[in-house]
A and B are shown apart, each in its own frame.
Chain A
Amino acid sequence: MKLLLRISIFLVFVLCSCSTNKVLQDYTSVPLEKKIFEVPYFSNPAMDYVYKANITVYGHELTGIFIAKKINDTTHRVVFTTEFGNKLMDFEISEDNFKVNSIVSELDRKILINTLEEDFRLLLKKEYLVQKQFENESDNIYKSADGNRDNYLFYSKKNHQLEKIVRSSKTKEKFMLIFITENNIFAERVQIIHQNIKLKIDLNYFKSE
């Protein structure tokens, strides 16, 4: 039994180290066109970004209203409320700061807060420093290093807009953001999909009258 355990641990170790990053299969490397990639979708300080939110986490569904607003040059305020308007969480988030203004005790779990912090930071990030560029038939892909993670920005050649961001470790995808946009200024719909945990966040823009 012990031997079997050792073999399995060894196998897991070997298999993990053999796996390579799958984000960029079938893409070819091309010369770098630009060093900075700007994402417009949450960058306008004059705009209230209000979305209907559906969160699916390990089979449980949570719905409500997602609100983001750029409150100064570096920081966004992010609030999640129920449909009735009760605030469930209230964060302030910038590139290197994160502050929890309030959170209801039912959601006050370190692992959840850390996950949302990483998700929202990527969602609200305006500028990416690009180190490498790739392409295939449909997309230009910009690779931007971010600590021990890499972000891959997929820019559709056909629609001339950013449609996907994949956040990855050196070996595998962590989560991705999918943007659906009509005017390339803000996103009508955003999906945050995790690969290693069963978490999906679906945001649909509030159409006012």
Chain B
Amino acid sequence: MKIRSYIIVLFLIGFQLKCFAQEQKMSESEISAFKQSVVAISKKIKTLSTDFVQYKHLDFLSKDIETSGKMIFKEPNSLLWQYKKPYNYSIVFKNGKILINDEGKKSAVDIGNSKLFGKINKLIVGSVSGDLFDDKEFSISYFKIKDQNSARFIPKDATLKKYIKQIELTFDKEDATVVQVKLLESSADYTRIVLKNKVINAKVDEASFAN
């Protein structure tokens, strides 16, 4: 019995060590190099389109809720977020307006200079391009994993904080682009968005944002 307990304890310690080994805090010089490379890439982005799969994790459910679709961004601030499975729902942010198309049913909201929506827009684009490094808006910490980097953003704005506890962006180490966005609502519930088939600076038709 005792031996079994030792084995379990050793296993747990080993497991923890492994966790630590997988994720390390970046040093100051690593942080600055990492930020530079991400900002350099995101500055070059005129258009961006990507497929995504969204996993909504709620602790009490037996499996994550999966939805998927496509996202298109065009400078300076046109953004399409389109779900294709299991339903058709798309939302466009463009010229101070939000256009929604819910299975063909269209509606529009004039957001004008709404501070919150401005922040949400910046947040989505920033999340996908990676450039969220605004110390005024977020407390940021940086980590490195085997072939990935990650940055964790805790909102400072009280309104934003009500909806999002933390944003975690995972970057591919090679090309410094975002591969995963994780939005934490609490320790147990989060939304994880995996980006795939990313295309940067391909020609994007303005009609994509007509919705």
Contact = CB atoms under 8 A, between A and B. Distances in A.
B89 interface: yes
Contact of A71 (B60, B81, B191): B60
Given A61-B107, A67-B65, A85 B183 contact: yes
A105 B161 CA distance: 13
Interface of A: 46-48, 50, 52, 54, 61, 63, 65, 67, 69, 71, 77, 79, 81, 83-87, 104-105, 204, 206-209
Contact of B189 (A50, A61, A87): A87
Contact of B185 (A63, A77, A86, A204): A86
A207 B163 CA distance: 27
B185 to A, nearest CB: 6
B56 interface: yes
Contact of B62 (A46, A86, A105, A209): A46
B162 interface: yes
Contacts of B56: 65, 81, 85
A14 B54 CA distance: 57
Contacts of A207: 86
Contacts of B162: 104-105
A87 B87 CA distance: 19
B137 interface: no
B172 interface: no
Given A69-B60, A104-B163, A208 B86 contact: yes
Contacts, number: 56
Main secondary structure of the interface of B (DSSP, over half): strand
| Interface size, B (range) | 20 to 34
B63 A83 contact: no
B61 interface: yes
A83 B89 contact: yes
28 contacts: A47-B62, A48-B63, A52-B86, A52-B87, A54-B102, A61-B102, A63-B89, A63-B102, A67-B61, A69-B61, A71-B60, A83-B67, A83-B91, A84-B81, A84-B191, A85-B54, A85-B56, A85-B183, A85-B191, A86-B183, A86-B185, A86-B191, A87-B185, A104-B163, A105-B162, A204-B87, A206-B65, A209-B85
Contacts of A47: 62
Contact of A86 (B61, B83, B107, B163): B163
Contacts of B83: 83
A67 B86 contact: no
Contacts of B183: 85-86
B66 A208 contact: yes
B58 interface: yes
Contact of B61 (A48, A61, A83): A48
A67 B89 contact: no
Nearest to A60: B107
A84 B63 CA distance: 17
Given A63-B102, A85-B54, A104-B163, 6 more contacts: A52-B86, A61-B102, A71-B60, A83-B83, A85-B65, A207-B86
Contacts of B85: 209
A85 B91 CA distance: 14
